[in-house]
Amino acid sequence: MLQASRIAALTTLALLLVAACASGPRPEPAGVVETGKLRVTIDDSWYRVPGKETPEKDALTRVLTREGADKDRLYMIAGIDAGETLFKAEYSAGVVAFDPSMSPEDIAGFVASSLEAALWGGSANIEAVNIEEHGYTGIPGVQFELEVSGPANHRGVAGAFAVDERLHTVIFIAESPDSFERHEDIARQSIDSALYSIKTIRRN
């Protein structure tokens, strides 16, 4: 009887561990990651973040991490139309909607204010700095860094470009300057690889 109880307890523990692993970040295979018409090439150091850990995101957003969603995030956000925000409306209070006529500086500010509202509810201040024009496979765009002040001490880097008046952006943000520096090179490589494609790829 004792042996049966022990087996049952171990079986229950194993099932709980499997469920916990299934609900957390899972490895993202190296190669091309796609959401909508936005593609990014990554190495094998990234994990996919479950939707429940990023409730602010919409359907055409993919979120990856290297150390965990509370440590760092790589947002891939595709196809933002005129009048839309990067994140769900309930996480975008006070954010000016995207306008295809925005300048590179305006786009950088739009991304910064969107993160500020979605991740900190406006309690932190995010500033876009070192804003530079940047090309993505022949498509003109912008790249910039993100500095956070207030209750958080995050740092990040982002790139964005528009095609057919729809905005596509890749954003990496880390919980601290040290964390950002550890992952900066890999994050920038992923952002630099961003491209627009009308073809759809299949991945497991």
How far from the centroid of its chain's Cα atoms is residue 44's Cα? 16
pTM of the predicted model as reported, rounded to 2 decimal places = 0.85
Task: From first to last of the 204 residues of the chain, give the pLDDT tens digit.
Answer: 445 444 443 333 333 333 334 456 799 999 999 999 999 999 999 999 988 889 999 889 999 999 999 999 999 999 999 999 999 999 999 999 999 999 999 999 999 999 999 998 988 899 999 999 999 988 999 999 999 988 778 999 999 999 999 999 999 999 999 999 999 999 999 999 999 987 654 444
What sign for the dihedral angle of Cα 20, 70, 56, 99? negative
Total H helices, total E strands in the chain = 3, 11
Would you give the DSSP letter of residue 175? Answer: S
